Amino acid sequence: MKSNIKAFIFDLDGVIVDTATYHYRSWQHLCKSFGFEFSEADNEQLKGASRMHSLEIILELAGETRSEEEKIRMCAEKNTWYLESIKEITNQDTLPGVQAFIKLAREANYLIALGSASKNAIAIINQLGLTSFFDVMVDGNMVTKGKPDPEGFLLAAQKLCVKPNHCLVFEDAAKGIQAAQKAGMYTVGIGDPRHLGAADMVIETLLNQTPKGILEHI
């Protein structure tokens, strides 16, 4: 049992809500404009990466180059499609078990933070009606370096006033697990163990999980 854990830090996309799918479709839409077939396997590399870093990965995969100005325009276009596609998401669209898990964690007095690379994260949390679940929220606007850099998770720990090694991070992306480990935090991967094998523990979903049960296994 990890009794020194005081805080849980949750990634947004792919952990709280399945917006990863909408990110993927929006990038696919953009890729069509220059004739690139963007596959689901390639998309795995984008999970947790910032918007601009994601575009740079795509351009490299496609063997394309663009000016800085053009890249900014392409990111804005992708974000417009993305925002349009998530317009209708509500509290009912959160991933299985996540709300119940956070409620249990709050009742047990763990501190709760959001640690997302997305610049849309805080607006999405508001849209889902989950703002009161979090003691602090860190999003992509508050950092200069994206995952796998630990900056965002370290900022979340600092805002919570807890040491990094007292934090447990929940992530769906290999880049997010790397970022948390570089920050010196414990990790739970949510999703496919083939991508998340480096985490202290990997689970399919948070459904029927409890903070006590997770802490007994890491």
Catalytic residues: 11, 13
Does the N-terminal peptide bond of residue 148 adopt cis geometry, omega within 30 degrees of 0?
yes
Closest CB to ligand B16 among residues 48, 211: 48
Helices 174-182 and 151-160, axial angle in degrees (round to 10):
60
The answer to the question of residue 178 lying near ligand B16 (CB under 6 A) is no
Of 91-99, 133-141, 165-173, 205-213, which segment contacts Mg ion by CB under 5 A? 165-173
The answer to the question of residue 21 lying near ligand B16 (CB under 6 A) is no
Quote the CA–CA distance of 200 and 10 in Å, as a whole number.
15
Query: Residue 17 Cβ, how far from ligand B16 at the closest point, in Å?
Result: 9
**Contact yes or no for 38/200 (Cβ under 8 A):** no
What count of residues does the chain have? 218
Quote the CA–CA distance of 76 and 78 in Å, as a whole number.
5
Query: Residue 36 Cβ, how far from Mg ion at the closest point, in Å?
Result: 23
- What phi and psi values does residue 56 have, to the nearest 5 degrees? -65, -40
Query: Residue 176 Cβ, how far from Mg ion at the closest point, in Å?
Result: 6
**Residue 51 binds which entry of ligand B16, Mg ion, none, CB below 5-8 Å type-dependent:** ligand B16
The answer to the question of residue 49 lying near ligand B16 (CB under 6 A) is yes
**Contact yes or no for 196/11 (Cβ under 8 A):** no
The answer to the question of residue 169 lying near ligand B16 (CB under 6 A) is no
Write out the binding residues for ligand B16, residues 65-84 only, by CB under 6 A.
Answer: 79
The answer to the question of residue 98 lying near Mg ion (CB under 5 A) is no
The answer to the question of residue 14 lying near ligand B16 (CB under 6 A) is yes
**Residue 112 binds which entry of Mg ion, ligand B16, none, CB below 5-8 Å type-dependent:** none
Closest CB to Mg ion among residues 66, 151: 151
Q: Which letter does DSSP use for residue 120 in this model?
A: T
The answer to the question of residue 149 lying near Mg ion (CB under 5 A) is no
Closest CB to ligand B16 among residues 50, 94: 50
Tokens of 175: 């880049």
Closest by CA to 169, choosing from 4, 7, 1, is: 7
